[in-house]
Copies of this chain bind each other. A is one copy, B any other.
């Protein structure tokens, strides 16, 4: 059953739990696919979750845990009795089990691990940082020997019972080093006595253990791979990354980029499950930093106090000008940042984007200036102030576009996430410099000193 009527079922589950009818609640939940089960159970109280989980079939519970937010799943497992926890985590796929155990307190994770049958598959995975190929891969894979015949390979496949559907198998030499790949379809279509060495494709796209998960996602997306092997320093096949995990990485990265563009540290769990304090903590740093930077605008204005007192009308255009500068800057950075994320600007240097944006800025700045002059006149301002506003809006748009193209690229060069210096940070910078440009032009055009 698909998620369509989750709200309704949720009410029924709550009713069943209230009537102490746990098995009825379990039956209601188990009719769904694991991701829907995870959504349902996340809506229940911690206490209800702890009552339900041990009553589910262990492999259903395991599949559902794998679909829950890692931190939530870890808290839930930690609250179970150790024997229940062992029974359920043992049924999880190694990469999912590692995610949950890695989010638990080390002693608790150790206690669960000590009781597990699959502990030996999982221990090595725990050593790899979560955001690398090693943290993303599963150790549950079938490595075929290159000397095997097609029939040997098919019977090895029959003995192996993986949880995930596969389309490609990897071939290793006598030492376990990766040396080729063969698709399941090729294997079926090959004559029965042929050796794998003769049908495999020796050119395999693979990654080393330590490579960043974002790079793994980029490679699998670029080369349309469903699975990608991971090798250690000696070239030995140690794991396999599957596309469904990469889809999660891509979504996670897009979430982080969008939240950073909004000047908030990324949340590490779903929005409404993050406490008010948790949300505020991830925002306050940026808000204060930008507040301090924005005080620069006050200094600029005090510097031009005489000009502002002489022509009060100048102050009416302040929000308009810095707003337009901020908008032009955001337009540029959002485009450049995305081009960086998609790898479109690799090795293209700074000059091409800068030259591109400079011309876009000159064009947009001219149009805005032509619109701004009559608009200022319509407000009843003098032609001098109107000319100032038109010249300033032109200069500010060109400046914001240029800065917006360089700043994300500079950040990347210094290995800072480009999204961090963009969005509001960029607007704040453009606010102060834009005011300086505006009031300097005002001084010249209006002859103020």
Contact = CB atoms under 8 A, between A and B. Distances in A.
Interface in A166-210: 166-168, 183-185, 188-189, 205
A201 to B, nearest CB: 11
Contacts of A166: 167, 185
Interface in A137-165: 154, 157-158, 162, 165
Contacts of A223: 33, 35
Which 6 pairs, one residue from A and one from B, show the smallest C-beta to C-beta distance?
A: A262-B334, A297-B319, A254-B254, A167-B167, A271-B339, A224-B244
Nearest to A181: B165
Most B CB contacts (10 A, CB to CB) among A220, A262, A308, A368 go to: A262
Interface stretch (A11-19, A97-105, A277-285): A277-285
A243 interface: yes
A335 B262 contact: yes
Given A347-B7, A364-B287, A375-B295, A257 B255 contact: no
B157 A185 contact: yes
A312 B305 contact: yes
Contacts of A312: 305, 308-309
Contacts of A352: 272
Nearest to A159: B189
A427 B325 CA distance: 12
Interface in A1-57: 2-3, 6-7, 33, 35
A136 interface: no
7 contacts: A271-B338, A287-B397, A298-B316, A298-B320, A309-B312, A323-B427, A323-B428
A235 B214 CA distance: 39
Most B CB contacts (10 A, CB to CB) among A35, A337, A353, A360 go to: A360
Nearest to A278: B360
Contacts of A332: 262
A226 interface: yes
A220 B247 CA distance: 10
A154 B336 CA distance: 49
A190 B20 CA distance: 43
Interface residues of A, number: 115
A402 interface: no
A330 interface: yes
Nearest to A404: B262
Interface string A342-383: 101101100011001001100110011001100100010000
Interface in A272-310: 272, 276-277, 279-280, 283-284, 286-288, 290-291, 294-295, 297-298, 301-302, 305, 308-309
Nearest to A428: B323
A315 B319 CA distance: 11
A395 interface: no
A431 B291 contact: no
Interface in A429-449: 431-432, 435
A210 to B, nearest CB: 17
Interface string A212-252: 00000000111110100000000000000001101110110
A89 interface: no
A327 B324 CA distance: 15
A444 B338 CA distance: 46
A272 B320 contact: no
Given A280-B363, A327-B424, 18 more contacts: A184-B185, A226-B244, A247-B247, A254-B257, A258-B258, A262-B332, A270-B344, A271-B338, A272-B356, A279-B356, A297-B323, A298-B319, A298-B379, A301-B315, A315-B318, A319-B319, A319-B322, A330-B423
